[in-house]
Amino acid sequence: MTSIATINWLTEAAVERPLKTAVSQHFSRAARSYDAHAELQLAVGRSLVQRLPAELVTPAALDLGCATAPFARAQQQALPGVFWQAVDLSSDMLNEAAERGRLNDHYQPLCADAESLPLEDGSQGLVFSCFALQWCDPARVMAEVHRVLAPGGRLLLAVPLAGSLRELNQSWQAVNHRPHVNALPSLDDWQKASLHAGFVGAQIQQQVMVEYYESVKQIARRLKATGADHVSGASGLTGKHAWQAMVAEYETRRTGQGLPLTWNVLFLEAEKTE
């Protein structure tokens, strides 16, 4: 089994940032449960795999924010002969990928911050990222992606946008005004970051996807099991009465299919032209 500890490139600056550290900890705790609960993330990722180019300008690619690397086999089948690096902030996620047999000589782990990649300029033919960069500053991460891509290199990105989890957010806001859902970057944020980084003519698609659940408790469990329960700026525990009031509010949104949970998803394809 590949040893992740020997390939841990996390910078001290990244580790010291409270948000990044908290995100890493939440995803580390979810490493074992991620695959069984990340249904929407996996569906979006499979769609993104279908968009992979037939060939790359240089045979090197990143799965940026790969989690347990669930798309490793499909990625290698689509692009045989390409050397992939599975990049994630959480070494536990990469260890889980190794235990699941998804890493090999052509698909190696790299524990690193997406905003500060320990890679040479122009070294990559492709950056693939699914439901991972919502924790990043769009300007920083897009500049870093542009830096490591070779001229003619491609970016395939899927990321949840502002407006995701709106039913959960609205239900909590009816009870109190503490943060219970992260404020995610908007479509405009990603568009501006893409242009500023140097990506011209990016193809952008916005898609609304709705999941349905039997209970609010099931929603909470799903978010925790995929590591998506971290909320920046949250403090203290939620009291029983506040939780019950939120659940009652959420129940007013129930449909014949169950309790809706909306995701606003950005699909972005771009090429580095210089």
pLDDT per residue as tens digits for the range 152-176 = 999 999 999 999 999 999 999 999 8
- pLDDT of 226 over the 80 cut: no
Distance CA 190, CA 176 (A): 30
Structural domain including 148 reads 5-161+184-207+265-271
Q: How many Å separate Cα 236 from the centre of its chain? A: 26
Total of domains in the chain: 1
Q: Is residue 228 part of a domain?
A: no
Confidence at 193, pLDDT banded by 50, 70, 90 = very high
The predicted pLDDT at position 221 comes to: 87
Q: Is residue 78 part of a domain?
A: yes
* Mean pLDDT in residue range 186-204: 95
> Residue 130 belongs to a domain with what CATH number?
3.40.50.150
Q: Is residue 109 part of a domain?
A: yes
Average pLDDT of the chain is 86
The predicted pLDDT at position 23 comes to: 58
Q: How large a percentage of the chain has pLDDT more than 70? A: 81
For residue 162, give the nearest of 147, 181, 141 by alpha carbon: 181
The predicted pLDDT at position 258 comes to: 98
Q: Is residue 108 part of a domain?
A: yes
Confidence at 106, pLDDT banded by 50, 70, 90 = very high
Other CB atoms closer than 10 Å to residue 79's CB: what's the count? 21
Confidence at 146, pLDDT banded by 50, 70, 90 = very high
Distance CA 175, CA 172 (A): 5
- pLDDT of 1 over the 50 cut: no
Q: Is residue 100 part of a domain?
A: yes
Quick check: helix, strand or coil at residue 28? Answer: helix
User: pLDDT digits over 16-63, tens only?
Assistant: 344 566 555 555 666 667 766 678 899 999 999 999 999 999 999 999
User: pLDDT digits over 3-18, tens only?
Assistant: 343 334 333 333 334 4
* Mean pLDDT in residue range 142-148: 98
Q: Is residue 260 part of a domain?
A: no
The predicted pLDDT at position 25 comes to: 59
Q: Which residues face 154 on adjacent strands?
A: 126, 271
The predicted pLDDT at position 235 comes to: 46
Residues in CB range of 265: below 8 A, 6 or more apart: 44, 158, 159, 160, 161, 164, 206, 207, 208, 209
Confidence at 75, pLDDT banded by 50, 70, 90 = very high
Q: Is residue 251 part of a domain?
A: no
Q: Is residue 72 part of a domain?
A: yes
User: pLDDT digits over 209-221, tens only?
Assistant: 999 999 999 999 8
